[in-house]
């Protein structure tokens, strides 16, 4: 789909791209159920829906009814453990994606398919029912988002989840070994081993909390056993490839466009366990990882392993990497307790925000590579600028025109500053003025991101800011306030705050992706589900001792079987396929008193397994509105008393 946002030209959506229309279905086939299930349904395009058009002379955040947003915003959900899809610039919430959280609407965490992804204990219950998503990042091709995947972290349980961009659903979850406090995450933008590979092959994961190794309760007071590990995960298989031991706690992660470097800003390089112990050093670090050298060391067997894990680990501590020409890591000194590290779209710089210092530190990546070759003497010599921005700088985004935008948590401001001007000022040019503009936001901004920021195609249109406190901005709803999302027009020289909206607590980071980079499926392919009930005639109940498998289908407005008879004590696996091909025609399936509810989208198959331990009649019904006869869409689960 072409992006016409810049020209304002409306475009009618193509019915061939979007398939069958629910609007036509509901309008012309409302009484199909009275004459028989499965009648043919005609094609119809989504006429009338157009893109949001920009007014003359500037950007507009208004997206009128029937118009489409120009960007997908992919937001973390915080300790709701989900990911959210938000239209930008409208701010409309389009979808909530359950990831680490059981979800009553979709059945995520209940269906057999989702439980296999989430992981279960021996008794079949979920291994974890909580999560804490902080950062969301997408896969790249040629330094630009390609829409294939999005990854997010679970800080609580140290898990990495992958979301497919074609359906916006989680398809894999990996628990990282040997770590706690998994916070920073970033995919590589290229693979340095093979120059022909210009897409994401790995995801890098930082860990915040020092833990003793082995963490089995035997050495809890031995501080020499405490450390953190940086982890590399294969982007396709989602298997852990390797880990690297580091000094300090890691916060966020960034990767270079050439695939040669990854980095994490660090606090607590002191290795302290108490607050006061973490604050004694005047400087902390931004640690850089030489990816090619690390993978060469692993190939050469220069690794160790921890008990209970087969993941190879290299030693990236500063004390064992003193020779730059063989070092795996480079520790660049920055002001204490930095927060955030971000890559500029031109591929030249990583920027660490100061948090406890009013500055941001600009590190030139070419000089980091020169340090690894022994051409730059000291790690600190890789720093080319450190502009003073204001109080509490946390995170930085970019507009693709040489400007950076940093949140000031304590000042409740966004500051716009020019990177090259900051470099000139750092070199002694007193005429250079890095700060370009400031705008107040409400209140205490944390994460921010700009449209296509941290890609080669950063377009400098929109900046979204997540503010941690909303206080007086919205109707009071009790002690728990929403957070405040702020939208800023950055297309001109001056920033323009154009919109605020409340958001359910507590999201963190997000990315803003041009709409035409993501190609979604509107209807699934039944061939992707080997256990599908392919047609109404294939419906059946199969018994093997006390194990019963129910092969069921749905086609609006009925299930393929009006009665499902089992015996008390049977272990029942119910497999439901949605035979409808109409876009947006989702069916639900709920069983009263059995705590079962899940949905099946068009042409999908989902299954649940439960013990029929309560004799009696239980009306199974469709929970997702599907038809004018939706209320009549039922089946009886009849459990014969033992």
**Tens digit of each residue's pLDDT (9 = 90 or more) over 404-461:** 999 999 999 999 999 999 999 999 999 999 999 999 999 999 999 999 999 999 999 9
Query: What is the model's pLDDT at position 1?
Result: 34
Instruction: Please compute the mean of the pLDDT values over residues 537-557 and round it to a whole number.
Output: 97
Q: How far apart (Å, rounded) are the C-alpha atoms in residues 20 and 39?
A: 14
Nearest Cα to 318, choosing from 366, 279, 274, 284? 284
pTM for this model (two decimals): 0.91
Predicted local confidence at residue 194, as pLDDT: 74
Q: Which residue has the tokens 């112990």?
A: 277
Query: What does the domain layout of the chain look like in residue ranges?
Result: 176-388, 526-640
Q: What is the CA radius of gyration of the chain?
A: 27
The side-by-side arrangement of strands in the sheet containing 587-591 is 563-567, 634-640, 616-621, 587-591, 596-600
Half-sphere exposure of 475 (CA within 13 A, CB side): 1
At 411, list the tokens: 């000042």
State how beta strands 93-98 and 136-141 pair: unpaired
pLDDT digits (tens, 9 = 90+) for 25-36: 444 433 333 334
Q: How far is CA 180 from CA 183, 205, 315, 360, in A?
A: 9, 11, 18, 28
Homologous superfamily assigned to 176-388: YVTN repeat-like/Quinoprotein amine dehydrogenase (2.130.10.10)
Look at residue 22 and tell me whether its pLDDT is greater than 80.
no
**Mean pLDDT confidence for 183-207:** 90
Mean pLDDT score of the chain, rounded to an integer? 91
Go through the chain and tell me how many residues it has.
Answer: 642
- Determine contact, residues 465/486, Cβ cutoff 8 Å: yes
pLDDT score for 57 = 52
251-286 pLDDT tens trace: 999 999 999 999 999 998 888 888 788 887 889 999
Q: What is the mean pLDDT of residues 481-502?
A: 96
Nearest to 262 by CA among 184, 172, 375: 184
Model confidence at 297: pLDDT above 60: yes
**Residue partners of 122: CB distance under 8 A and separation at least 6:** none
The pLDDT assigned to 275 comes to: 78
Task: Please tell me whether residue 224 adopts helix, strand or coil conformation.
Answer: helix
pLDDT at 345: 98
pLDDT tens-digit readout, 585-602: 999 999 999 999 999 999
Q: What is the pLDDT of residues 33-53, one digit of tens each?
A: 333 433 333 333 333 344 444
Q: What is the tens place of the pLDDT at every residue in 102-130?
A: 999 999 999 999 999 999 999 999 999 99
Asked if the model's pLDDT at residue 18 lies above 60, the reply is: no
Nearest to 269 by CA among 286, 291, 288, 249: 249
The span from the CA of 595 to the CA of 614, in Å, is: 12
Q: How many C-alpha atoms does 285 have within 13 Å on its Cβ side?
A: 21
Environment class of 32 (CB within 10 Å of its CB; exposed 0-12, middle 13-18, buried 19+): buried
Lowest model confidence (mean pLDDT) among 258-267, 273-282, 316-325, 364-373: 273-282
Predicted confidence (pLDDT) at residue 182 exceeds the cutoff of 80:
yes
Sequence-ordered list of residues with C-beta below 8 angstroms from that of 280, at least 6 positions apart, any chain: 270, 272
Q: Are 628 and 26 contacting, i.e. CB atoms less than 8 angstroms apart?
A: yes
pLDDT tens for residues 507-534? 999 999 999 999 999 999 999 999 999 9
pLDDT of residue 25: 42
Let me know if domain 526-640 sits in CATH 2.60.40.420: yes
pLDDT of residue 271: 84
Q: Which residues contact 57 (CB under 8 A, 6 or more apart)?
A: none
Dihedral (CA of 213, 188, 415, 284) sign = positive
Q: Name the band, by pLDDT with cuts 50, 70 and 90, for residue 58.
A: low
> What are the Cα distances from residue 369, in Å, to 258, 278, 292, 377?
11, 29, 12, 12
Give percent of the chain above pLDDT 70: 91
């Amino acid at each position: 789909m072409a992006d016409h946002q810049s020209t304002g030209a409306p475009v009618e959506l193509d019915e061939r791209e979007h398939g069958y229309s629910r609007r036509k279905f509901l309008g012309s086939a409302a009484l199909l159920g009275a004459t028989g299930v499965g009648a043919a349904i005609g094609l119809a395009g989504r006429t009338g829906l157009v893109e949001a058009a920009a007014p003359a002379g500037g950007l507009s955040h208004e997206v009128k009814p029937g118009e489409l947003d120009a960007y997908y915003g992919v937001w973390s959900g915080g300790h709701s453990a989900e990911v959210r899809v938000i239209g930008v610039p409208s701010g409309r919430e389009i979808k909530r994606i359950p990831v680490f959280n059981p979800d009553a609407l979709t059945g995520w965490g209940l269906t057999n398919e989702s439980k296999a992804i989430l992981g279960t204990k021996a008794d079949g219950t979920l291994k974890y029912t909580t999560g804490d998503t902080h950062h969301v990042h997408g896969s790249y091709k040629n330094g630009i988002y390609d829409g294939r995947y999005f990854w997010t972290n679970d800080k609580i349980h140290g898990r990495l989840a992958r979301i497919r961009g074609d359906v916006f659903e989680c398809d894999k979850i990996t628990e990282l070994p040997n770590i706690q406090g998994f916070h920073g995450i970033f995919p590589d933008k290229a693979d340095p081993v093979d120059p022909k590979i210009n897409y994401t092959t790995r995801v890098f994961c930082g860990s915040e909390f020092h833990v003793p190794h082995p963490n089995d309760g035997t050495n809890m007071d031995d501080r020499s056993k405490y450390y953190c590990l940086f982890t590399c995960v294969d982007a396709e298989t989602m298997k852990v490839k390797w880990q690297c031991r580091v000094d300090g706690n890691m916060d966020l992660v960034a990767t270079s466009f050439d695939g040669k470097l990854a980095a994490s800003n660090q606090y607590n390089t002191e290795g302290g366990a108490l607050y006061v112990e973490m604050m004694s050093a005047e400087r902390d670090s931004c640690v850089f990882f030489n990816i090619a050298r690390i993978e060469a060391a692993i190939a050469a067997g220069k690794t160790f392993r921890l008990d209970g894990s087969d993941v190879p680990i290299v030693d990236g501590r500063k004390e064992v990497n003193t020779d730059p020409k063989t070092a795996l890591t480079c520790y660049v000194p920055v002001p204490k307790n930095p927060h955030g590290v971000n890559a500029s779209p031109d591929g030249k710089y990583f920027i660490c925000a100061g948090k406890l210092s009013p500055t941001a530190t600009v590190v030139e990546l070419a000089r980091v590579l020169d340090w690894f070759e022994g051409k730059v003497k000291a790690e600190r010599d890789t720093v080319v600028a450190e502009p003073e921005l204001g109080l509490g700088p946390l995170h930085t985004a970019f507009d693709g025109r040489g400007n950076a935008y940093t949140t000031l948590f304590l000042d409740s401001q966004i500051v716009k500053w020019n990177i090259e001007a900051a470099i000139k000022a750092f070199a002694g040019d007193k005429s250079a003025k890095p700060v370009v503009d400031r705008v107040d936001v409400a209140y205490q901004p944390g994460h921010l991101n700009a449209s296509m920021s941290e890609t080669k195609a950063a377009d400098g249109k929109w900046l979204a800011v997540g503010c941690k406190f909303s206080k007086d901005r919205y109707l009071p709803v009790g002690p728990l306030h929403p957070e405040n999302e702020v939208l800023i027009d950055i297309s001109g020289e001056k920033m323009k705050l154009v919109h605020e909206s409340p958001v359910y607590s507590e999201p963190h980071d997000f990315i803003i992706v041009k709409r035409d980079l993501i190609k979604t499926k509107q209807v699934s392919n039944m061939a992707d589900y080997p256990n599908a009930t392919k047609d109404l005639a294939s419906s059946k109940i199969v018994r093997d001792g006390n194990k019963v498998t129910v092969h069921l289908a749905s086609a609006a407005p009925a299930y393929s079987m009006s009665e499902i008879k089992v015996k008390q004590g049977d272990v029942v696996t119910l497999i439901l396929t949605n035979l409808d091909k109409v876009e947006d025609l989702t069916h639900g399936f709920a069983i009263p008193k059995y705590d079962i509810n899940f949905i099946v989208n068009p042409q999908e198959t989902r299954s649940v397994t439960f013990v029929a331990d309560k004799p009696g009649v239980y009306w199974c019904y469709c929970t997702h509105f599907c038809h004018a006869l939706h209320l009549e869409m039922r089946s009886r689960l009849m459990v014969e008393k033992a």
